[in-house]
Structure 1
Amino acid sequence: MSKKELQTYFDNMNYDNLSGGGWVPAATWLRVHGDTKSSVKGKFHMETLKATNGECKAKIVGANVEIVVAPPTLKRVAQALRDAAADDSKLSKELKQELKTYFDKINYDKLTGGGWVPDNKWARVNGDNGEEFHMETMKVKDGGFKARIVGANFEIVVADQAPTLKQVAQALKTAAGL
C-alpha cells in the first residue's frame, strides 16, 4: 500500500453516496458500497462492524487501518459534559464552579461502567470520584446516546445516532494520517 494510492482512494470517494455497512450486533464485517474508484483499481474498500460488546468499528481493507467509531468513549462523554456545563447559561455560577471542581478531579482514562445497551435505562459511570455528583450514560431506543450529571440536573445528547458512513470514512481518513 502506498500512501499516495490511499490518498487517491479518499480523494475520489463520494462521501454522500456511501451505502451498506451495518451497525447491527452481528459481529460480522459488512462491506460499504460506493467508496471505490477505478483510479486505485479496487485496491481498498471500507467495511463496518458492530461488535457484540457494542463497539462500532470501521476499517479499510487493503490498508491495515482500523478504528473504533462509536459509541462515544466515556472519556469523550465526560469531556463533552464538562464543556457543555461550562457553556450552559442556565446553570448558576456556583453550580458551574462545583461542577468544575468535580470535573477537575476526574481521571478521564480510568472511567468504566455506564451503558450503551438500547434499553432506555441510565447506567452509572464508575471512577469519576463523584460524591455530590455522579455521571450516568444511556443509549435510547432510537439509537441516540445521552449522558447526565446526577445531582446537577444536567443532561446532554452525546450523539443523535451511530455515526454516518460519511463520518466513518472521514474518521478513517484521519486515522490513516491523510
Structure 2
Amino acid sequence: MPLIVGLGNIGEKYTGTRHNIGFSIVDRLAGTLSASMEQTDDPYILGVGRFKGVKTILIQPTTLMNNSGKAVLRACRMFRYLPGDILVCYDDVNLPTGKIRLRPEGSAGGHNGIQSIIDHLGTRDFPRLRFGIGNNYSRGRQSEYVLSPFDDEEMPDVEEGLKKSEEAALCFIREGIVIAMNHFN
C-alpha cells in the first residue's frame, strides 16, 4: 500500500504556481484513483483510492512547503509506512520544464520541503519524483520564480510532464521505484 505525497503550499495565492506542481500531480492521481481529497484533523489533505487492486493513500501537506516533513511523518505513523513505501512528488529547478526524474533516495538538493522530510524521517532513503520547473530567473530571484505560475508557452511541456508524472506514479504503485525508474528516466 503506497503513500503518494504531493508537495506544495496551501492557499489560493499558491494555486497554479511552480512550487505547487506536487499538489497538481496528486490531484490528477486522485481523479484517476477516484479518491476524494478531504481535509483531516492531521496536517494534510487525504485521499484514499485503488489502482489495479492496490490501495493507495494520497496526501497534500497543509503545513506549508518548508514544514512538509511534519505531515509526512504523521502520515507514516498513522498508516504504518516505511520510507521506501513513499513517493514524494515535487518541483525541481534543476530540470527543464515538464521533464521528470525518479530516484530511490538522495539529498534535498536545496529543496526545503525535501529537507524537512529528511529531517523528520531521519533518512534520505525515500523515493521521489522530481518535476522540472526550469530555472529562468535572475540571481536572488528563485523564491519569486518558484511562486510564480507557468507561462503560456510552457503549458504544453507542463501538461506532458503531468501526464508522464501520473503514469510514473501509477507504475510506482504497481511495480515499485526500480521499474518506474527504468520506464520513465
**Is the shorter-chain TM-score for this pair beyond 0.5, marking a shared fold?**
no
Name the structure where helix makes up a greater proportion of residues.
Answer: 2
Structure of greater Rg: 1
Name the structure where strand makes up a greater proportion of residues.
Answer: 1
| TM-score, reference length from structure 1 | 0.29
Using CA pairs under 8 Å that are at least 6 residues apart, name the structure with larger relative contact order, 1 or 2.
2
